[in-house]
Structure 1
Amino acid sequence: MTKSTAVNPKNLLKFILGSAFGVLMFLVPIPQGDSFTTLLDFLKTGLKNLMGVSMNYIIVGILVVSAVMGVIDMVFKPDFIRKNTYLSKAFHTTPFYLGSKILGAIFACMIVFGFGPEAVTSADTGVTMLDLCNTLLCIVVSFSFILPFLTDCGIMEFLGVLLRPVVRPLFHVPGRASVDLIASWFGASNAAVILTREQYMKGFYTKREAGYIMTNFSLVSIPFCLMIANTVNVSHLFPSFYLCICLVGIILAVIGIRIPPISTIPDTYQEKTGKQINEDLPENTKLLPYALEMSCQRAEKFTLSKILSSGMEVVVGMFFDLVPVVMAWGMVALMIATYTPVFQWISYPIGLYLQLFGVEEAFAVAPAALIGFTDMFIPALLITGVESVKTRFIIGVLSLVQIIYMTEVGAIIIKSEIPLNFWKLLIIFLERTLIAIPLIVLFANLFL
């Protein structure tokens, strides 16, 4: 192999300093009270606190503008939208998604200005979704211009080459996917899903790899796991609680890539960008020098203008295209979960399944085992009155390894270009639930 000119002082500095900044912001845990957070999460929380109640009106403005501009694009097809990269990404859409945007705008107006039925404006539905959209907005603002330091400075190429011999045979994904997993563990699952989507769009994951990573690697953060443990009153068992989450999560990931619907997704790259990744080690090449070469080649292309352009594209797309859909679908899901007996009706088979494995109060907690499909926090709220510590432990862990939460990551996955629709996500959710329950029960019996 000819000696690469990419490994030079300038590119090494870009790789080391840029990647260090990205890792510091996304991955390094910072102590915060009894738990810890990341600088990115600290920035997100600070921004949310700074904006205060004005965030609600910003959400309304964004959703109304998105709906109105979507209608203008659909009806008049103006060139100033269709021929502009940012505006077409934000407002050019299909009739179904336009309907979702209009519905999201209506919901937001009803919640913020306090009119309409209680099913929309209550704390369990509207207020919860508005707070979630505020958080999502702050996440997007916080990381859009910082994300390139983690993805484009070479650290993903460096780790990808080094970890490929382990990650590829075990999970059938590139080694760089390990960065997504770490970002989710210490940050937020929706941020990790957005990171994966952007990597797919840039040609670093195939459709199957991106879909698999989104539905298996996007675990919720450790601080949120601690919050769930506190909510279900098993915080005194947190080491065992989190160890169980990790063990079950790894087993589910190993199984998930090998069964439908993930295994049936085309293993092809995004059509416009094609394959932009190479982690294979050439013959007669040492691992560490090759990892350094790949990282420097990536860092060579890293410029300030690319940070600004890619960051702005993410911000505009997320603001006007994603947030309205999250509001619309999240509201519908929460209203069904909160104000209808649907989950009581459909959870009876899960009650039998839990009973089969000796779970105490099986039928009482069965709705909580399914309602996690709508939102990750609702199961914990439903089981606070359950007497059995082991049952609370089991359902608490289950709610955190199911991953497919429509209000958090489900809407983002569906809105991405990955071929995973609502029904496929539902199937994945049920697969994870059915496989996880006996595993969690086994570990609970061993740990408690």
Structure 2
Amino acid sequence: MMNNNQTTSKRSQKSTSLAIIQMIGFSFLGILLFFIPFELGGKTSIAFDHLASYLVKEQRTLAVVLLFLLMIYGVIEPFLAGTWKKNTTTKILTLLKILGLILASLYITNLLPMSLMEKDMMPFLFEKLALSVGMIVPIGALMLSFLLGFGLLELMGVIMQPVMKPLFKTPGKSAIDAVASFVGSYSVALLITDRVYRQGEYSAKEAVIIATGFSTVSTAFMVIIAKTLELMAYWNIYFWTCLLITFVVTAITARLPPISRLDDTHAKTDDYPYPTSNRLKQAWQMGVSVAQDAQSLPKILWLNLFDGIKMAAAIVPSIIAIGLLGLLLSKYTPVFDILGLALYPFTWAGGLDSPMFVAKGLSSGLAEMFLPALLLAKQDILTRYVTAVVSVSSIIFFSAMVPCVLATSIPISVAKMVMIWFIRTALSILLACLIGHLAIIFGLLA
């Protein structure tokens, strides 16, 4: 018979073996679900986008019912929890959620004024944004379990630390957020950021850098922008330079106010006590350790799904209300003309034709990131390229991204997000103009 020490050792070994199997197996499944696009029904995308698209297009009635259940929960939850009176911001957001639910109800019953039923108003907000986000966030959160629950995040955090820290002043694990956003959805990437921040593994400053620096629209939406601006013939130069510009701008804004002045303390640290020469070994040990301590798969799935439902419920009515206000401001007021004046020096310095007109068009991206592509679709190739890049690299817009951030615990105000938007947009214009001119010189843009 084995003695007690041998029994204990065997149990420990079995636990380690099971942890390794779970880490490799579930992480591989998570990578397949999130980062490997495949064609289905003539559309190439990743798994949860296919599922969300199926619900929206093929099961629209079910999707609408689910969306309204989410919105109703999102409206009543602040009152049930008593959080609506926490501060002025939460009171305003609660009112906007109520307004969003009312607008959605009037839209679906066809009772809105004709001016709001124009295709670039409520139909755009409800059909293209609210329905998609409402389905994508819970499904994406469910699939997120395999990326977050079994050690992959921590393993990648150790490996990417030497890259992410010096460039972006963020932990190595934030590389997962960046990839998840470009391949999947900014809303799901924000879900990752919020979860890790609430666990104490990101400081306030790091969470804001990640949320406002990496959580941009997905590759799938970049394709829509490129098609609208007739840039698909130059897809590779557009995609890779857009990626480069977005991350260069993130590295710069992380070192400028208001981000540079945010609190950089957190409960846990990304600096692991291992020699850098053993970084791969360190990464493996960290991943296995997390997998050993992981909860059961059903519990992790439920916790992530519940987080996704809560976030979607908070986001969707806000998207409709804030998005409509932004679109109305863009269409009927000079607000974005005034913002365009602030961007004019950068479009002029970039050597763009009609720099004032382009500046006003790009400023509308603060309301909805797709508006500049609609407004500037008939311009010359350089302007169209710059528009396509800036629409993605600016990251912050009121129709969806701002409500998403406000629905999280990430400590950033609307005023600071507008400041970050302006800095990102100005830098993106200059960099995109520089690369665009070089691309034309070398024949990469005709």
1:264 aligns with 2:273: no
**Which runs of structure 2 are paired with 1:62-211 in the superposition (5 Å)?**
62-68=70-76, 70=78, 73=79, 81-82=80-81, 94-131=90-127, 132-211=129-208
**How much has 1:224 moved relative to structure 2?**
1.9
Q: Considering only aligned residues, what root-mean-square deviation do their CA atoms show, in Å? A: 2.5
Distance 2:348 2:168 in 1: 32
**How much has 1:312 moved relative to structure 2?**
4.0
Contact 2:133 2:312 in 1 (8 A): no
**How much has 1:347 moved relative to structure 2?**
1.4
1:432 aligns with 2:428: no
How does the TM-score come out when normalised to structure 2? 0.88
The one-letter code matched in structure 1 to 2:71 is: L
SS at match of 2:121: helix
Structure 1 residues 375 and 252: CA distance shift in structure 2, 3 A: same
Residue by residue, what CA displacement relative to the aligned partner does 1:399-418 show, whole Å, maximum 9, x if unpaired? Answer: 11111122222111122222
Which of 356, 370, 376 pairs up with 2:369? 376
Q: 5+ residue gaps in structure 2?
A: 1-8, 441-446
1:17 corresponds to which residue?
A: 25
How does the TM-score come out when normalised to structure 1? 0.88
**Which runs of structure 2 are paired with 1:278-297 in the superposition (5 Å)?**
278-283=270-275, 286-297=278-289
Identity among equivalent positions (%) equals: 26
1:224 corresponds to which residue?
A: 221
SS at match of 1:40: helix
Structure 1 residues 8 and 31: CA distance shift in structure 2, 3 A: same
The one-letter code matched in structure 1 to 2:258 is: P
Structure 1 residues 366 and 213: CA distance shift in structure 2, 3 A: same
How many residue pairs get matched?
A: 425
2:209 corresponds to which residue?
A: 212
Which of 310, 320, 327 pairs up with 1:327? 320
Structure 1 residues 437 and 299: CA distance shift in structure 2, 3 A: same
Farther-moved stretch of structure 1 (58-67 vs 404-413): 58-67
Residue by residue, what CA displacement relative to the aligned partner does 1:285-319 show, whole Å, maximum 9, x if unpaired? Answer: 72222211110111112212431441243144124
Contact 1:59 1:134 in 2 (8 A): yes
**Which runs of structure 2 are paired with 1:15-54 in the superposition (5 Å)?**
15-31=23-39, 36-54=44-62
SS at match of 2:230: coil
1:238 aligns with 2:235: yes
Distance 1:312 1:431 in 2: 35
**How much has 1:326 moved relative to structure 2?**
2.3
**How much has 1:353 moved relative to structure 2?**
3.2
**How much has 1:30 moved relative to structure 2?**
2.2
The one-letter code matched in structure 2 to 1:67 is: V
Q: 5+ residue gaps in structure 1?
A: 74-80, 83-87
2:291 corresponds to which residue?
A: 299
Structure 1 residues 320 and 439: CA distance shift in structure 2, 3 A: closer
Contact 2:204 2:264 in 1 (8 A): yes
**How much has 1:31 moved relative to structure 2?**
4.3
**How much has 1:363 moved relative to structure 2?**
2.1
